[in-house]
């Protein structure tokens, strides 16, 4: 059986999730894809801490070492910021590795550049995990866009914010208690400011904008408001009126071709498609010309939903096998 080697860059919540799923699904993936995948390197900043038993020998702090591994062909990336992630993935692509990323900060800014570079190098970029966690919005949009035009995208794109708003409403938790629990559950970013300020949802919206419209609005023109502007009192008052706060990110292509976006809390009523989207769930509503409005809902954060779509990206890439070099 042919074997290919993979690396995981970043071994936090998502990186560990990838490792677990690849181990748990090893036999099944081997049978389905006809290829054995071996995680050969795990890139971290500190090798002294063995986060998952039995992985110490795989750890390295050096991207040179990752790329020097014979047969390295797939790189999963779950690092947090733009750099060094972009530089690592650029090097991986130039090394003819397929890359699969969960890094929305990097991808919102450098995604189009990375995809162009991948095209030149004959490799694939999987980015399903950058947006809406386990919700398959990227592959669905790619499919829809083969035939339809998308005119507007409206979504709940941050699981942590939605979880906090839900728990404040349904359990009467304070903002701080709900945030702490979101952190315990592995939903929040290392710096949760990005979740609650709306910046995380904004980055995901920009990724969807680039996919749907081939462009993003000027970032400086987008009004971004977080849930930190909402008090427990406001949540309670809204609830008494039969309304719910949702943190909504939306981008639209106007009739004159201009792409405009905004991100912020909105009060929605029972008739609104985002009303039932509770807890860590995300939702993406797409307005299209032939299908009409299509809404996808599912877990938007967490170890397994996010890691799962990255392994799906891997399976899809292997399925395509375009230019794939298999090491026997």
Q: How far apart are CA 109 and CA 139, in angstroms?
A: 20
Question: Given candidates 101, 158, 209, 216, which one binds ligand HSE under the rule CB under 6 A?
Answer: 158
Q: Within 10 A of 24 (CB to CB), how many other CB atoms are there?
A: 11
Least separation in angstroms between residue 28's CB and ligand HSE is 26
Contact between 128 and ligand HSE (CB under 6 A)?
no
136: closest CA among 289, 316, 293, 5? 316
Contact between 301 and ligand HSE (CB under 6 A)?
yes
Contact between 313 and ligand HSE (CB under 6 A)?
no
| CB nearer ligand HSE, residue 195 or residue 250 | 195
Take residue 203 and report the two structure tokens written for it: 């980055």
Contact between 155 and ligand HSE (CB under 6 A)?
no
Q: Binding string to ligand HSE for residues 162 to 201, with x set by CB under 6 A, is what?
A: -------------------------xxx-----x----x-
| CB nearer ligand HSE, residue 197 or residue 288 | 197
| CB nearer ligand HSE, residue 80 or residue 232 | 80
**Are 99 and 75 a contacting pair, CB within 8 Å?**
yes
Q: Within 10 A of 8 (CB to CB), how many other CB atoms are there?
A: 30
DSSP calls for 80-119: SSSTTHHHHHHHHHHTT-EEEE--HHHHHHHHHHHHHHHH
Catalytic residue among 104, 167, 204, 253: 204
Q: Which residues does 122 contact at the CB level (< 8 Å), separation at least 6?
A: 96, 322, 323
Take residue 29 and report the two structure tokens written for it: 């993936």
**180 labelled catalytic:** no
Question: Given candidates 15, 155, 159, 264, which one binds ligand HSE under the rule CB under 6 A?
Answer: 159
Q: State the residues that interact with ligand HSE by CB under 6 A.
A: 133, 158-160, 187-189, 195, 200, 300-301
């Amino acid at each position: 059986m042919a074997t290919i080697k993979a690396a995981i860059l970043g071994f936090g919540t998502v990186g560990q999730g990838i490792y677990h799923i690849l181990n748990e699904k090893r036999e099944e993936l081997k049978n389905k894809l006809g290829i054995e995948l071996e995680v050969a390197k795990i890139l971290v900043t500190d090798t002294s801490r063995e986060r998952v038993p039995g992985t110490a020998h795989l750890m390295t702090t050096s991207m040179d070492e990752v790329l020097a591994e014979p047969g390295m062909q797939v790189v999963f990336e779950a690092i947090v910021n733009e750099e060094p992630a972009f530089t690592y993935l650029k090097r991986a692509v130039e090394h003819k590795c397929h890359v699969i990323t969960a890094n929305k900060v990097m991808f919102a800014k450098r995604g189009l550049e990375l995809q162009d570079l991948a095209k030149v190098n004959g490799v694939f970029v999987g980015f399903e995990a950058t947006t809406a966690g386990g919700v398959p919005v990227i592959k669905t949009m790619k499919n829809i866009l083969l035939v339809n035009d998308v005119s507007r995208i409206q979504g709940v794109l941050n699981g942590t914010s939605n979880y906090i708003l839900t728990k404040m409403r349904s359990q009467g938790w304070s903002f701080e208690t709900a945030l702490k629990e979101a952190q315990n559950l592995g939903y929040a970013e290392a710096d949760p400011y990005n979740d609650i300020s709306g910046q995380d949802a904004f980055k995901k919206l920009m990724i969807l904008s680039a996919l749907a419209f081939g462009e993003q609005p000027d970032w400086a023109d987008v009004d971004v408001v977080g849930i930190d502007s909402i008090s427990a009192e406001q949540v309670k008052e809204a609830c008494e009126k039969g309304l719910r706060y949702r943190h909504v990110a939306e981008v639209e292509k106007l009739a004159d071709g201009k792409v405009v976006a905004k991100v912020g809390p909105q009060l929605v009523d029972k008739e609104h498609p985002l009303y039932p989207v509770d807890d860590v769930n995300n939702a993406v509503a797409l307005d299209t010309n032939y299908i009409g409005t299509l809404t996808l809902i599912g877990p938007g954060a967490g170890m397994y939903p996010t890691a799962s779509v990255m392994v799906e990206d891997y399976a899809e890439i292997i399925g395509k096998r375009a230019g794939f070099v298999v090491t026997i």
